[in-house]
Amino acid sequence: MGRAPCCDKANVKKGPWSPEEDAKLKAYIEQYGTGGNWIALPQKIGLKRCGKSCRLRWLNYLRPNIKHGGFSEEEDNIICSLYISIGSRWSIIAAQLPGRTDNDIKNYWNTKLKKKLLGRRKQSSNIHTLSNQDPNDPHQPTGSDDNQFSQGLSNSAMERLQLHMQLQSLQNPFSFYNNPALWPKIHPLQEKMILNMQASNGNPNLLVQPLLPPNPQPANEQSTVHQQDYPEISNTKGLEGLDNCLDGISPSDGSVPFGNGDNLMDSTSTAAAVQPVSSFQGQLDVFLNNKTSTTGEYPQEDQMVNQLDCFRDINGSKDSLIWWPTDFDAKSASSNSWDSTSVLQSNGMFQDFELGYPM
DNA sequence: AACAGGTTCAACCGCGTGTTC
DNA sequence: TGAACACGCGGTTGAACCTGT
């Protein structure tokens, strides 16, 4: 027994809307509003359309102040930042861009932005592969390994993983794996590289940056996250664990990872749940606009990607990867209490977490 | 000019969630 | 309390359009 259809499919028109239909719908809503019932609306105005279709048409096209196309650089940055932070929550992302609809942003992402970002990653990887691959080296990662890895993840998670790796590789190619104890087997050369990096940076903890803790802590109380806080890290959940992390699934103990637990996403929990977007901006600029850092803060991408690639799991073990501590409460986020400006402009709470977050 | 392949985007579909009774 | 209903969301589809040959 399936779900009852929302309307009589046989008597409902589908496909593109005619100007007459648009005019009818627009005139009615502007005069009377939706009446709080989209299902009944088409009957009221004599449209042979499904109520859901009317709603979609109004929200995505007829509603006043809707913008189509012509996304600005700033909008690109916001979309990318939020996508990387919260994934494909298009309605939430759209809420941060006045005049944009979730559908529009979704289309824009899928057709343009994603290619723009992932394309660069691919390019870099290809260059790396061509220049560095040694067919005689049994430890070298293989394409099939990558494929296996990729296939185990949802597309969205994989995209976010790729994007995240891209951005991360710009800033610190090693912080991605923020706890050496959790890494899979490391090739001797990689180990040597780590030691060199630590020595050259004079920072023995370079590779042991803490993950974002399950609950916000004052900056001065940040500490290395223990494995028990992240069961996905230490056990053999492998890809499933990673995918779950990517998708922001709550811990199995049912605890609320961020915020005060009342599910209202105030600015505090927002800041905790969404990654430090502000810290993305420079990196996003580099990726989206081919900008070269004037401060030298962001190393050359290819170089860094190459270094990052060195840390791919060379033995095919997919366990122990975790880098997405965000647990985003979509339910809360969809409410009006989710204040994005604090996300995008915050310089207080985020900075606290930037220290703890392996970006 | 004609065709093929690629891209874009409006619209549809199914499902999860909230609300009402 | 739970069933029925409506809403909203994200994924997917397919027609229209674009571009290269």
Instruction: Give whichever of A24-28, A134-138, A206-210 has the largest mean pLDDT.
Output: A24-28
Please tell me the distance from the alpha carbon of residue A343 to that of residue A78, in angstroms, as a whole number.
10
DSSP secondary structure, A205-233, as one string: TTT-PPPPPSS---GGG--PPPGGG-HHH
The residue-averaged pLDDT of A155-163 equals: 63
Q: Does A272 share its domain with A220?
A: yes
Whether residue A148 is predicted with pLDDT greater than 50 in this model: the reply is: no
Closest residue to B9 by CA to C1' distance?
A107
A6 contact to strand C (CB, 7 A limit): yes
Residue A30 maps to which CATH number? 1.10.10.60
The total domain count for chain A is 2
CA–C1' distance A66–B1 (Å)? 39
Whole-number pLDDT of residue A17: 92
Positions in chain C where some atom is under 7 Å from a protein CB: 5-12
The residue-averaged pLDDT of A211-234 equals: 35
User: Any idea which nucleotide's C1' is nearest the CA of A15?
Assistant: B11
Whole-number pLDDT of residue A280: 54
- From residues 312-351 of A, list those within 7 angstroms of strand B by Cβ: 331
Are residues A225 and A251 in contact, defined by beta-carbon separation less than 8 angstroms? no
Which tens digit of pLDDT belongs to each residue from A241-250? 344 444 433 3
A104 contact to strand B (CB, 7 A limit): yes
Q: Does A49 share its domain with A94?
A: no
Whole-number pLDDT of residue A168: 54
Q: Does A38 share its domain with A89?
A: no
Which tens digit of pLDDT belongs to each residue from A319-346? 333 333 333 333 333 333 344 444 444 3
Please tell me the distance from the alpha carbon of residue A158 to that of residue A262, in angstroms, as a whole number.
31
Positions in chain B where some atom is under 7 Å from a protein CB: 7-15, 17-18
Please tell me the distance from the alpha carbon of residue A32 to that of residue A117, in angstroms, as a whole number.
44
- Cα pseudo-dihedral A347, A351, A357, A358, rounded to 10: 90
Q: Does A340 share its domain with A269?
A: yes
CA–C1' distance A325–B11 (Å)? 36
Which pLDDT band holds residue A54 (cuts at 50, 70, 90)?
A: very high
Which pLDDT band holds residue A83 (cuts at 50, 70, 90)?
A: confident
Q: Does A99 share its domain with A198?
A: yes
User: Any idea which nucleotide's C1' is nearest the CA of A41?
Assistant: C6
Q: Does A115 share its domain with A173?
A: yes
| A306 within some domain | yes
Residue with tokens 């993305």: A280
CA–C1' distance A3–C1 (Å)? 21
CA–C1' distance A285–B5 (Å)? 32
- From residues 9-68 of A, list those within 7 angstroms of strand C by Cβ: 34, 36-40, 51-52, 55
Whole-number pLDDT of residue A179: 41
User: Any idea which nucleotide's C1' is nearest the CA of A330?
Assistant: C9
Instruction: Give whichever of A46-60, A157-171, A313-327 has the largest mean pLDDT.
Output: A46-60
Domain boundaries, position A262: 73-132+143-356
Rg (chain A; Cα; Å): 23
Instruction: Give whichever of A105-114, A157-166, A185-194, A205-214 has the largest mean pLDDT.
Output: A105-114
Whether residue A141 is predicted with pLDDT greater than 70 in this model: the reply is: no
CA–C1' distance A61–B11 (Å)? 11
Please tell me the distance from the alpha carbon of residue A65 to that of residue A324, in angstroms, as a whole number.
36
The residue-averaged pLDDT of A153-167 equals: 61
CA–C1' distance A152–B2 (Å)? 44
Q: What angle do CA A165, A168, A173 make, to 5 degrees?
A: 95
Q: Does A58 share its domain with A78?
A: no
A164 contact to strand C (CB, 7 A limit): no
| A228 within some domain | yes
Whether residue A270 is predicted with pLDDT greater than 60 in this model: the reply is: no
Closest residue to B17 by CA to C1' distance?
A331
Q: Does A52 share its domain with A166?
A: no
Which tens digit of pLDDT belongs to each residue from A277-316? 445 566 666 666 655 444 444 434 334 333 333 333 333 3
Instruction: Give whichever of A37-41, A177-181, A230-234 has the largest mean pLDDT.
Output: A37-41
